[in-house]
């Protein structure tokens, strides 16, 4: 698989795991054309400026692309821009995602609105974006399609208690109603990520004869601040540095997990369904 000069489009890339993936690619010994997807161009430009200041010797290029996965017009505009300026996408990394469980606790969103918004961002928006960009992906000589999922999405591990982070989220609360509020509620978040895993399997089937390698990337418990919990608090709960997730994504882009295509992958294993 050709690695140098790949055009890589990453959504949700101005912060968190997406930014760490951009950073890992930008500092790689390989050369990339990185399209940094961001809802706000000013935030994307600020992220790029910081990265370039810290890594002035990179031969790769980074360009901000305005993209909001909740907006079909935004997706279509991003497609038009990338099509006009680059003509293809070699690697599409669907990283944009969000958790809204805490918004239910605070009363900011109703249960229905939080679930609908979670599904819209984490699955429906990803599906619209992927479908829109397939024509550009199929113009690549070695296309890759990735979906960033969660280690909490595995149905077979929803009762697992031997790993502290899973034991914490899988533990049953005391009897009675209402239940005590969780520090980091993730019921709708993990449910939509389980749906995203099925979306990956469907795209694996759909693109099998087109030579597209497809994965769901499960980066592990990282201190990204997802869901409104601070990074330091997450680290106290056992979260790892987000840079580890960025390096993992880079490894997949660079062909180190080609034998595991069509699966949900963790850095050191296949994640069970």
Distance CA 29, CA 33 (A): 13
Domain locations in the chain as residue ranges? 6-265
Please tell me which residue in 32, 189, 213, 263 is annotated as part of the active site. 189
Distance CA 219, CA 162 (A): 19
Q: What is the pLDDT of residue 230?
A: 61
Q: What is the pLDDT of residue 209?
A: 98
Q: Which CATH class is domain 6-265?
A: alpha beta
193 is a catalytic site residue = yes
Q: What is the pLDDT of residue 177?
A: 93
* Model pTM score: 0.94
| Cα→Cα distances 90→11, 107, 221, 226, 249, Å | 14, 42, 28, 28, 14
Q: What is the pLDDT of residue 241?
A: 78
263 is a catalytic site residue = no
Please tell me which residue in 193, 213, 250, 263 is annotated as part of the active site. 193
26 is a catalytic site residue = no
Long-range contacts of 254-261 (CB under 8 A, 24+ apart): 254/3, 254/28, 254/30, 255/1, 255/3, 257/215, 258/1, 258/213, 260/215, 261/204, 261/213, 261/214, 261/215
DSSP, collapsed to helix, strand or coil, labels residue 250 as helix
Please tell me which residue in 58, 118, 150, 218 is annotated as part of the active site. 150
In the chain, which stretches have pLDDT less than 70? 1-2, 183, 222-223, 225-240
């Amino acid at each position: 698989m050709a690695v140098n000069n790949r055009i890589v489009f990453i959504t949700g890339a101005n912060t968190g795991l997406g930014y760490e993936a951009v950073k890992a690619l930008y500092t790689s010994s390989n050369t990339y054309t990185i399209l940094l997807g961001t809802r706000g161009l000013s935030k994307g430009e600020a992220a790029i400026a910081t990265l370039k200041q810290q890594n002035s010797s990179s031969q790769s290029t980074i360009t901000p692309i305005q993209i909001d996965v909740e907006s079909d017009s935004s997706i279509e505009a991003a497609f038009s821009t990338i099509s006009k300026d680059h003509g293809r996408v070699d690697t599409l990394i669907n990283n944009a995602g969000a958790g809204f469980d805490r918004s239910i606790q605070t009363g900011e969103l109703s249960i229905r609105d939080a679930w609908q918004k979670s599904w819209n961002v984490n699955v429906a928006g990803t599906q619209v974006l992927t479908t829109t960009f397939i024509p550009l992906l199929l113009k690549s000589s070695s296309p890759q399609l990735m979906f960033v999922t969660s280690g909490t999405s595995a149905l077979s591990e929803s009762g697992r208690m031997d790993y502290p982070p899973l034991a914490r989220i899988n533990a049953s609360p005391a009897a009675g109603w209402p239940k005590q509020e969780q520090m980091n509620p993730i019921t709708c978040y993990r449910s939509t990520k389980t749906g995203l895993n099925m979306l990956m399997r469907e795209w694996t089937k759909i693109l099998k004869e087109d030579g597209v390698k497809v994965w769901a990337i499960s980066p592990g418990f990282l201190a990204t601040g997802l869901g409104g919990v601070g990074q330091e608090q997450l680290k106290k709960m056992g979260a790892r540095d987000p840079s580890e997730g960025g390096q993992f994504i880079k490894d997949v882009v660079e062909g180190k997990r080609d034998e595991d295509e069509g699966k949900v992958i963790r850095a050191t294993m296949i994640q069970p369904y």
